[in-house]
Structure 1
């Protein structure tokens, strides 16, 4: 899995941080997403997929690797 965030699309809702705090964080100044781990371990992948699905700004892209 490869995770990509588009900070320009992020609206700062924070759902990603709530679902996968080891992978996502928010900038303290403006609440915009900060990617902590672009290749998360298997144990976190379901939460990352859910975060991408619920992101109101569609700022998270998940690329699955074979």
Structure 2
């Protein structure tokens, strides 16, 4: 899978996060991770989807006290 510019990955993460109805904190964490990579790490859409999947799983998990 080819890599895309960070700006395009960020836009994809935001669109997909809205589609999945994720909380802003989850989407923001993914966006921050992408921006901090600064293009130094080769990321692609598959990586972004996995990050969003993990955020979604954490949101849906029951909170244990």
TM range (shorter): 0.3 to 0.5
Q: Which has the larger helix fraction? A: 2
Give me the TM-score of the superposition, normalised by structure 2. 0.33
Q: Which structure shows the higher strand fraction?
A: 1
Q: Which has the larger radius of gyration?
A: 2
TM-score (norm 1): 0.33
